[in-house]
Amino acid sequence: MFKIALESYKGVLAALQNNSPVISSKIPLNNGTSLPIVGFGTYLIEEHKIHTVLDAALKYGYRNIDTAAMYENEKAIGIALRDLLPKYSLSRKDVFITTKLRAEDETTSGVKNTKLRIDSWKELIRLNDNGRGVLRAIGVSNFLAKHLTHIISKTGVPPVVNQVEFHPYYNHPDELYELCCKYNIILQAYASLGGSDNPVLIRHSVVKEVATKHQVSPAQVLLKWGLQEGFGKLKFLNS
């Protein structure tokens, strides 16, 4: 499985071979744009903390900010960036912002879910307009191979990214890697420390042993592991 991942996502690996810091490295997407390999996740960061946290993130080089409607902090992120970008001599185009639409109601029937997924994807395609629209790039999250196959077969447009949970405790079927390889879809990992709410892997004895050996933190070991598997990363901080 991991051989497939490595062969499929050579863009990540190539970007890491230019000896530049990982945090400033970018990976080309299948629509001609590029995405910073390491992203700053804002899950569980409350609105009143956003300004302080993003200030630190920009200071240390993060240029990929991840949020979602369900995080309920999108507005605060926009306000904070408007204030902070000039501080670091940055413009809006220097920062890649990823957000995610709120999932449909869980009571919706399977048939309606499928139609809604296609309709939503068609609208995103319209808003992207081959990179000329209001959206720089369009992607999906938590899609299985069957979901990707369905939207591509109905629209002819593959997503640039599929954001999925990925760490040593959570892998995916080969068919997902193979499909993403076929359409040059980047798999971006979230919950890289072993879970969004309870990052159990940073306390694992093997991870701690490797961290001690290389004089780095357990979190750095896990992020490096994912990058070596060819995945883009989101680092979630709640402080």
Q: What is the CATH number of the domain that holds 68?
A: 3.20.20.100
- Look at residue 239 and tell me whether its pLDDT is greater than 50: no
- The verdict on residue 70 lying in a domain is yes
Total domains in the fold of the chain: 1
Summarised one tens digit per residue, pLDDT across range 22-41 is 777 888 899 999 999 888 99
- The verdict on residue 115 lying in a domain is no
Q: Where are the alpha helices (DSSP H) in the chain?
A: 2-8, 10-16, 47-59, 74-84, 110-128, 145-155, 174-183, 205-214, 218-228
Summarised one tens digit per residue, pLDDT across range 126-143 is 999 877 788 999 999 999
- The verdict on residue 116 lying in a domain is no
Q: Name which of 109, 233, 225, 117 is nearest 168 in CA terms.
A: 225
- The verdict on residue 111 lying in a domain is no
What the block records as the tokens of 163 is: 């954001």
- The verdict on residue 127 lying in a domain is no
- The verdict on residue 36 lying in a domain is yes
Return the amino acid letter for 130: N
Summarised one tens digit per residue, pLDDT across range 43-95 is 989 999 999 999 999 999 999 999 999 999 999 999 999 999 999 999 999 99
- The verdict on residue 126 lying in a domain is no
Confidence of residue 172 (pLDDT cuts 50, 70, 90): confident
The boundaries of the domain holding residue 31 are: 2-105+137-150+157-236
- The verdict on residue 123 lying in a domain is no
Tell me the pTM.
0.82
Output phi, psi for 9, to 5 deg. -115, 55
Mean pLDDT, the chain, whole residue set: 82
CA distance 6 to 129: 31
Residue in the structure block whose two tokens are 């946290």: 53
Inter-residue contact 73 to 99 (CB < 8 Å): no
pLDDT the model gives residue 236: 42
Return the amino acid letter for 55: D
Q: Please, which residues have CB within 8 angstroms of residue 231's CB and are 6 or more apart in sequence? A: 5, 9, 12, 166, 187, 188, 189
Catalytic residues: 71
Query: Residue range 152-171: average pLDDT?
Result: 92
